[in-house]
Amino acid sequence: MKLDNRIFIVIIATIALYFIFLVISDLSEVYDQLSKMDISYLPIILLLIPLSWMALFTRWNLLLKNSDIHVPIKDNLKIYLSGFALSITPGKIGELIKSQLLKTKFGIPREKTAPIVLVEQLYNIIGIIGVSIFGLWYFEFGAHIILIAAALLVIALILISSKRFFDKFLSLLSRIKFLSQYTSAFSNSYDVLRKSTRGWIVVYASALSITFWFVESVIAYFVLLSFGIDHLELLGIITTYTSSIILGVASFLPLGIGVVEGSLAGFFTLQGVDVSIALTLVIFIRIFTRWIPVSVGFIALRMSGILSLTGTKD
């Protein structure tokens, strides 16, 4: 099955899921809530979305420069945004297309860039744990979820600290057909991986990761405010939102579809939000934080003139 066909299936499944959410919520109730939505928050939300992207792009650019890889900013931005299009693959493995694009357009070996794409996911975990801690007082249930994420982070750090462990991990990944073409690149560039997780770069990359998750949580907070939900504290929303994201990542489903939406709606109801409103809130939050970036990613792929790469067979 072609990768673009799988993406199409994910999109259709998401539309079906959101339709089911709307039906469960009672369409008349949803319409009533939409009519009451305060659109004055919309400009703020739309401003925060690209701001969150800039935190991630800055991190990506720093990681490249840390490995002595220099790409013109304009081209680099298009390549980075292109990765958003394939973030809907399980575990975001499709973002490895950034490595392929750098090789295609600038001749940069995948051995130097594929590990950086992997390290980005590690810093995502660091960022989500870091920002979640601030709101544990308001949402204690999230402590259990964050503990699981912290355990995964420790495992990842152990893998990176030992080349022997890392090679064993790669041998497991090589059994996955889509990843088999990249495992040799990872194995031959262990030094790049180590360099990206040592020294000053750790501080800057971690700070930018925390910034990203904080801004995304603020977007979720403003969505709630736009629907008149003002009894939840911002710090509580941070942990509530990030806890649902962690569960989605653990599911290894594309964008955690179904798991993130269901858990986030459940968390909202636990905090006093009516279930019909909670399901509507979740749909809007996911559109702003995930589906707008995915749409922009496809536009970036089209602008780069290499959209056909997404049709590569596994």
Tokens of 237: 């929303």
Fill in the DSSP letter of residue 1: -
What is residue 194's predicted lDDT score, i.e. its pLDDT? 83
Q: How many CB atoms lie within 10 A of CB 168?
A: 11
What is residue 81's predicted lDDT score, i.e. its pLDDT? 94
pLDDT beyond 60 at 270: yes
Environment class of 129 (CB within 10 Å of its CB; exposed 0-12, middle 13-18, buried 19+): buried
Beta-ladder partners of 313: 2
B/e letters for 234-250, b = 16+ CB within 10 Å, e = fewer, are: bbbbbbbbbbbbbbbbe
- Segment 124-139 mean pLDDT: 82
Report residue 107: phi and psi, to 5°: 70, 20
**Which of 28-42, 93-107, 257-271, 286-300 is predicted least confidently?**
28-42
pLDDT beyond 70 at 179: no
What is residue 311's predicted lDDT score, i.e. its pLDDT? 43
Instruction: Give percent above pLDDT 70 in the chain.
Output: 81
The answer to whether 36 and 297 are in contact (CB under 8 A) is: no
What is residue 143's predicted lDDT score, i.e. its pLDDT? 72
Residue 242 to residues 17, 129, 189, 225, 249: CA-CA distances in angstroms? 21, 8, 31, 18, 10
What is residue 155's predicted lDDT score, i.e. its pLDDT? 77
The answer to whether the Cα torsion of 135, 210, 287, 39 is positive or negative is: positive
Instruction: Give percent above pLDDT 90 in the chain.
Output: 38
**Which of 67-71, 85-89, 102-106, 284-288 is predicted least confidently?**
85-89
What is residue 49's predicted lDDT score, i.e. its pLDDT? 97
pLDDT beyond 60 at 153: yes
pLDDT beyond 60 at 44: yes
What is residue 29's predicted lDDT score, i.e. its pLDDT? 65
Under the banding of pLDDT at 50, 70 and 90, the label for residue 26 is low
**Which of 8-17, 182-191, 269-278 is predicted least confidently?**
182-191
The answer to whether the Cα torsion of 217, 139, 120, 261 is positive or negative is: negative
What is residue 120's predicted lDDT score, i.e. its pLDDT? 93
The answer to whether 97 and 309 are in contact (CB under 8 A) is: yes
Under the banding of pLDDT at 50, 70 and 90, the label for residue 309 is very low
